[in-house]
Amino acid sequence: MSRKLLLALTFLVVLGIAVVVMAATYELFLLFNSWLEGKPLGIVKISVETPKADGICFIAVHRFFTPINPTKAWNQTDVIYRGKVKCGESVVVKDTIRLMQVGARDVNGEVMPIYDSPEYAVVVVSKSGGFNRIIQTDIVKPITEVKVKAEFESGESARPAEAPSTSRTCKISSNPDACVLDVKLAYINSIPGLKTAFGLEGVRPSAMHVEGWGSSCISSEPDTACPPSAWRSGGKKLTISNVGEISDYVSDGQRAIVWGGVEYLYERHAVWDDEFEAYWKYEFFYPRAIGGLSTPQVVGSYTPPPTPPSYAAGPQNGSCEINFEKPYPSDTKLNLTAQAVLNIGEVSLSISISPYQSGDDRHPTPYLSIVDISGKGYPWYYWWYKNNDRMTYEVEFYGS
């Protein structure tokens, strides 16, 4: 290797290191300066690894609204990044957010602050397929790194709609748009002597994770929806209660499903590509808020076990409220699914919506209200979370 070539390579390596150091230094300066001004900022770095495939991958990253980190419009996400790479390559997307503490978490006996944590949507589109997922963050320090390995979707897609149920049909007539769908949220149980109801907090809104959907396709038409085959579940989305409310009570051994009216938001994006002479197109359909609770749907009788489990609380008597603290995140769906029809212009598709066995410790959980109507003056009933898991949002009982 010639000396000139060696010097050139050394210069390029040093230059590359300098660029990286300068970028890191600027980030630290930005964060430090924001703290000095009393308006602390944080940086979210999202590393998106595109699928290994032939051709070009289009990438889009959007941020969802939070009250602390609002978007330009409350009913629409903000575009953080759009770009193209060769499929199989990765890109790192950086987003600067407002860093505000919203709670604390016990970590190995040490109390640590937790901050407002926006959710993001990550989209990858190519001729080989598409990817459209909702991504959660857990902001506990000024710089947060999130890794997303995109895979072209191969699971069950939405289906062309059949005969719709009017209470679970969403008609989209503009972009963006919104609608309310009835969604199953939880089971509630009762035993003779106890009546129970499902409640949502209002002052500090309760939160659950509910399923969202999304699409991605390549199209020559920007103003129409992607076909049903291009739609798939986008995963869980944090969904807060709009109002404090409690459902009607069930009693005398009834078992019921609690339904909630969930506001869903829809938006469509189409980005023209001169090279391909087509649009990279993608859509979001996601839950924003639980607006109210319907009368519980009685589905049968609750049968208590012959004896309470060892982890049951009790015996006790009297009325009480049971929350589901402390929540934890999970990608497992609860065994509660509602079918819905989504009409977007001439495109009509059938989707399924479930709540998740998941929560966020930045927000209160829903709660169960228990009213003792037995008249017994002594401790007589036990209660416990189903499967000893508070994120089932279900409480079981035993009475003596």
Closest CA to 234 of 256, 212, 210, 219: 212
Domain at 44-154: CATH code: 2.60.40
Flag the least confident range among 35-39, 274-278, 364-368.
35-39
How far is residue 159 from each of residues 44, 153, 162, 317, 340, measured CA to CA in Å? 35, 15, 9, 50, 11
> Span 99-109, mean pLDDT?
93
Instruction: Indicate if the pLDDT at residue 291 is higher than 70.
Output: yes
Instruction: Indicate if the pLDDT at residue 3 is higher than 60.
Output: no
Flag the least confident range among 35-44, 152-161, 209-218, 236-245.
152-161
> Span 158-182, mean pLDDT?
81
> Span 133-155, mean pLDDT?
93
Query: Between 29 and 313, where is the model more confident?
Result: 313
Name the H helices within the chain: 3-36
Instruction: Indicate if the pLDDT at residue 191 is higher than 50.
Output: yes
pTM exceeding 0.85 = yes
Instruction: Indicate if the pLDDT at residue 15 is higher than 80.
Output: no
Residue keyed to tokens 């944590």: 117
How far is residue 73 from each of residues 76, 181, 253, 287, measured CA to CA in Å? 5, 22, 47, 16
Percent of the residues in the chain that have a pLDDT greater than 70, as a whole number: 88
23-47 confidence digits (pLDDT tens): 557 677 667 566 667 689 999 999 9
How far is residue 211 from each of residues 237, 269, 353, measured CA to CA in Å? 6, 20, 6
Residues 340 and 205: their CA atoms lie apart, in Å, by: 25
Residues 177 and 105: their CA atoms lie apart, in Å, by: 37
Mean pLDDT (the chain, rounded): 91
> Using an 8 Å Cβ cutoff, are 314 and 382 in contact?
yes
* Per-residue pLDDT band at 67 (split at 50, 70, 90): very high
Query: Between 210 and 165, where is the model more confident?
Result: 210
Dig out the tokens for 273 from the structure: 């590509």
Instruction: Indicate if the pLDDT at residue 90 is higher than 60.
Output: yes
